[in-house]
Amino acid sequence: MAAINADLSVNGYTFEDIQTLAKEILKHTSLRPKIALICGTGLGGIAEVVENPITVPYESIPGFPVSTVEGHSGNFVFGTLGGKQVLLMRGRLHYYEGYPMWKVAMPVRVMKAMGIETLLLTNAAGGLNPKYNTGDLMIIKDHIDLPGLTGECVLIGKNDTRFGPRFIATNATYDHDLRSKFKQVVLELGYGNILQEGVYIMIGGPTFSSAAEARVLRMFGADAVGMSTVPESVVGRHSGMRIFGVSLISDMVDMEDGSKFLVTHEDVLKTANERALLMQKVFVKFIHLID
C-alpha cells in the first residue's frame, strides 16, 4: 500500500491519499454501494439490521483515524438495507476529540472515492425549540456552521479542485426529495407526532452549552444543537453528493439560569437506545425509497 502523505497545506489528506484509503477499504468487499449512512451517537444499532454485513474496523485501515467516543464503535459496515447496497460508518470523528476539521470530514471524501452519491447523516442533538420533546426526530432543513462562521470551516486550506470547487453554496444543502421521503416513512409508521423539521447548529464541544449560550443559539434561529454533522455535510456537498440529515433530540437544552438539570452523555445514549428500534425501522423503509 502507498504511504499516506497527509500534506497539511491541502487539508491533510491529498487526493492520492484519499484514493489509496478508498482502494484499501474496497479490498474487503465486492459491494459498491451508492448510499452511505453516518451513525450518530448511540445510533449504530441501525447496523444490526444490515443484511450480510461485512465489517471493516477503522484500525485495520492503515492511516485511518479511530473514534474515541462511547457510542461510536469504529467500523465501516457494508451490506444491504431496504434492498439497497449500503455503507454504514459506525463511529464518526468529532472535532472535540482533538481532530482538525479536515480530519473529521475526511471519511466523506473516502466515501466519494468509493462511489457514494447519497450521504445520510444522523446525530443526537439537544432540543432548543421549546415545542420539541426528548425523543423527537428532527429532519435537518438547514444548518448553522458556528465553527465555520468563526474561522474553522472544514474547507479552509489550499483547494484541490479534484475534490470540488474553491467556493461552494451551502444553502439548499439538504435535499428536498429525501426530506419528503423520510417524512412519508415516519408518517406511514405512525410517528408523525414526534416528527419535526428544523435548523441544526454545530458547536465545537465537548462542553454542552451554558444556559446563556443556549439562549444565543436559539436567538440565532437554531432548533437543535450538536457537535457534528456540519463538516460532513459541507464536504459531501463540496464533492457533489446528495445530502440528508436527521437529529434525534436526545435531551431538551435547559436555558433557565439556576436550573438543577445537568445533561450527561449517558442521557444522550439513553434516548438513542430508546429510539434504536424505531431508527432501524425508519431507515430500512427510507433507504428502500431512495433512487
Ligand X SMILES: O=P(O)(O)O[C@@H]1C[C@H](O)[C@@H](CO)O1
Ligand Y SMILES: Nc1nc2[nH]cnc2c(=O)[nH]1
Of 199 and 227, which has the nearer Cβ to ligand X? 227
Helices (H), 74-219: 101-104, 106-113, 146-147, 176-188, 211-219
d(CA 245, CA 226): 12
Q: Which does 228 bind (CB under 5 to 8 A by kind): ligand Y, ligand X, none?
A: ligand X
Residue 162 sits at φ, ψ, to 5 deg, of -70, -20
Instruction: Report helix, strand or coil for 161.
Output: coil
Show the binding pattern over residues 121-140: x = contacts ligand Y (CB under 6 A), - = does not. ---xxx--------------
Residue nearest to ligand X (CB): 40
| Among residues 26, 263, 269, 278, the one that binds ligand Y under rule CB under 6 A | 263
- Comparing CA positions, the residue from 238, 240, 222, 54 lying closest to residue 146 is 222
Q: Which does 126 bind (CB under 5 to 8 A by kind): ligand Y, ligand X, none?
A: ligand Y
Residue nearest to ligand Y (CB): 126
Is 268 a binding residue for ligand Y by CB under 6 A? The answer is yes
- Comparing CA positions, the residue from 229, 239, 238, 242 lying closest to residue 169 is 238
Write out the binding residues for ligand X, residues 63-122 only, by CB under 6 A: 69, 92, 94
Is 69 a binding residue for ligand Y by CB under 6 A? The answer is no
Residue type (1 letter), 2: A
Is 228 a binding residue for ligand X by CB under 6 A? The answer is yes
Torsion of CA 63, 24, 236, 58, to 10 degrees: -50
Of 69 and 253, which has the nearer Cβ to ligand Y? 253
- Comparing CA positions, the residue from 273, 276, 289, 90 lying closest to residue 182 is 289
By the criterion CB under 6 A, which residues form the site for ligand Y? 124-126, 203, 208-209, 225-227, 250-251, 253, 263, 268
Which residue ranges make up the site for ligand X (CB under 6 A)? 40-41, 69, 92, 94, 123-124, 205, 226-228, 265, 268
